[in-house]
A = this chain, B = another copy of it.
Amino acid sequence: MLDRRNFIRGMALAGAAADAKADDAKADQRKSGSAAAEAAAGKDVTRKLASFVLASKPEDVPHLVNKEAARTLLNWAACAVGGSRHETVDIAVSALAPFAGPAQATLLGRKERMDILNAALINGIASHIFDYDDTHLRTVIHPAGPVASAILALSEYRPVSGRDFMHALVLGVEAECRIGNAVYPAHYDAGWHITGTCGVFGSAASVGKLLGLNQQQMVWALGLAATQPVGLKEMFGTMTKSFHPGRAAQNGLTAALLAARNFTSSNQPLEAKAGWMNVLSTSRDYTELTKMLGQTYEISLNTYKPFACGVVIHPAIDGCIQLRNQYKLTADQIERIDLRVHPLVLELTGKKTPQTGLEGKFSVYYAAAVAIVKGAAGEREFSDTLVRDPQIVALRDRATATVDPTVGEAQVKIAITLKDGRRLEKSIDKVIGSLENPLTDAAIEAKFLDLSSGILPAAQARKTIDLCWNAEKLANAGDIARAAAA
């Protein structure tokens, strides 16, 4: 883990140097003060990005980047299997099955197989259901859904070596997150669900790489992606939110398949005056697309949620679990729990008496209580049953939360008073799951086992985990999907 942190620090420093350069460039641009300067910065960026993706070789990618890609893949598979039996997926499968093509690809965690375009859609939907998937914090893109859903489906139809698969995953994430970097936050603030709108590029780029597109075709694939953005933030809170990464995967896959046959599109889909960057964002920084391309990798900045709820209450859960484990706490020992929290915590998750699993995700009191009783806060800890469990409800009602302006977003201060009079304290400074304190490999494995429990038999879950860790060595990456079928 230390290696990884040093590596990230190295990347951050390199990034900072590049930022300084870019700032200089921006200052220059301000001096010349013209849209022409911006247009100059944008010149040929689509082609440059396409060229990079095509020229990149697996051996160019540092070992630690590949390691992060494996963590991304495993976390994505965990979420896709975990979400696979949700009503949202049931509906999508039953609505689309009558029109689906040959049984080419696995729906993770399910028995049905579908054509690769529908499989990409369904697996992408499933992977986002619990909002438990990976997060590129700088852009709030969930990068794996659009990319992994597309290339894994493709791998079952047209065998792809694990090495090429992982390389395509890295490159797809690179494309979507760099495009995201270039337009965030203006694009997101305008109302777009950035995972869907940028994700389609990630899907197209990764699939295009695996299909062996030439440069012109890759540019067209990105053009066909640009013309099919998916996702308004207005859909948050509805099933359509999960539809976004799935449809992005499917649209990008379609784009690459068409481009592979020379279906023509714009040659400047990103940077043209009427291109994606201008139409879908009020501001843009083209240098984000090319600076240090091939030297830094956005997937290295990916993070994984330890708990199946909004990040704002992760510090409280983290601290409660640590105290529980350190003192082997049980609910009946506890007189009261007092939390000092960041203002957003009460604003977003201040529900005192949640009645459903979903409501439980918006109650810092419930989250703290279930964390102490169960030592976890996965999807299963936010079930309707547990939210009404008398022991947890009683503990929940003994919890208080007070806003403390000195407490940061990734922090919390916890004091637990025991019935025997002891007072246990814990401060969380850098919450688990953040870039500085990433989820361990073991924790991601545990997340997979937790999410797949009741869906995949234990042996099969183990096998899928092993295949993800060893993905780079597989003769055929499609084996991962087949291992995760119900």
Query: Interface on A for B, CB 8 Å cutoff?
Result: 88, 91-92, 94-96, 98-102, 104, 115-118, 157, 190-193, 196, 220, 223-224, 226-235, 238-240, 243-244, 247, 254, 257-258, 260-266, 268-269, 272-276, 278-279
Chain B: CB-nearest residue to A226: B232
| Cross-chain contact of A95 among B234, B243, B257, B276 (Cβ < 8 A) | B257
Q: Are B247 and A228 in contact (CB under 8 A)?
A: yes
CA distance A95 to B244 in the complex (A): 23
Residues of the B chain whose Cβ atoms lie less than 8 Å from the Cβ of A278 = 191
Minimum CB–CB distance for A72 against chain B, Å: 25
Evaluate whether A240 and B257 lie within 8 angstroms (CB atoms) in the complex, with A101-B101, A275-B232 already known. no
Chain B: CB-nearest residue to A271: B234
Q: Are A116 and B99 in contact (CB under 8 A)?
A: yes
Residues of the B chain whose Cβ atoms lie less than 8 Å from the Cβ of A274 = 191, 232-234
Residues of the B chain whose Cβ atoms lie less than 8 Å from the Cβ of A101 = 98-101, 115
Q: Are A263 and B239 in contact (CB under 8 A)?
A: yes
CA distance A96 to B101 in the complex (A): 10
CA distance A260 to B232 in the complex (A): 21
Q: Are A99 and B104 in contact (CB under 8 A)?
A: yes
| Cross-chain contact of A263 among B95, B231, B276 (Cβ < 8 A) | B95
Residues of the B chain whose Cβ atoms lie less than 8 Å from the Cβ of A223 = 234-235, 238, 240
| Cross-chain contact of A94 among B117, B193, B261 (Cβ < 8 A) | B261
- Identify 23 residue pairs between A and B in the complex whose beta-carbon atoms are under 8 Å apart, listed by A's number: A95-B263, A96-B254, A96-B258, A99-B115, A99-B117, A99-B257, A193-B227, A220-B238, A220-B240, A223-B238, A224-B240, A226-B234, A228-B230, A232-B266, A232-B275, A232-B276, A234-B269, A234-B274, A234-B276, A234-B279, A239-B263, A239-B264, A240-B264
Residues of the B chain whose Cβ atoms lie less than 8 Å from the Cβ of A118 = 99
Residues of the B chain whose Cβ atoms lie less than 8 Å from the Cβ of A264 = 238-240
CA distance A100 to B224 in the complex (A): 19
CA distance A98 to B190 in the complex (A): 38
CA distance A117 to B230 in the complex (A): 18
Q: Are B234 and A268 in contact (CB under 8 A)?
A: yes
Q: Are A258 and B100 in contact (CB under 8 A)?
A: no
| Cross-chain contact of A191 among B95, B116, B243, B279 (Cβ < 8 A) | B279
Minimum CB–CB distance for A254 against chain B, Å: 8
CA distance A231 to B244 in the complex (A): 17
Residues of the B chain whose Cβ atoms lie less than 8 Å from the Cβ of A230 = 227-228
CA distance A118 to B250 in the complex (A): 13
Evaluate whether A232 and B227 lie within 8 angstroms (CB atoms) in the complex, with A91-B262, A99-B117 already known. yes
Q: Are B227 and A240 in contact (CB under 8 A)?
A: yes
Q: Are A266 and B279 in contact (CB under 8 A)?
A: no
CA distance A407 to B28 in the complex (A): 48
Evaluate whether A239 and B260 lie within 8 angstroms (CB atoms) in the complex, with A99-B101, A101-B115, A275-B232 already known. no
Q: Are A234 and B100 in contact (CB under 8 A)?
A: no
CA distance A235 to B88 in the complex (A): 34
Query: Which of A94, A102, A238, A240 is most buried by chain B, counting CB atoms within 10 A of its CB?
Result: A240
Residues of the B chain whose Cβ atoms lie less than 8 Å from the Cβ of A265 = 235, 238-240
| Cross-chain contact of A91 among B196, B233, B258 (Cβ < 8 A) | B258
Minimum CB–CB distance for A472 against chain B, Å: 28
Residues of the B chain whose Cβ atoms lie less than 8 Å from the Cβ of A220 = 238, 240
Q: Are A258 and B99 in contact (CB under 8 A)?
A: no
Q: Are B240 and A263 in contact (CB under 8 A)?
A: yes
CA distance A118 to B101 in the complex (A): 10
CA distance A240 to B269 in the complex (A): 11
Q: Are A91 and B261 in contact (CB under 8 A)?
A: yes
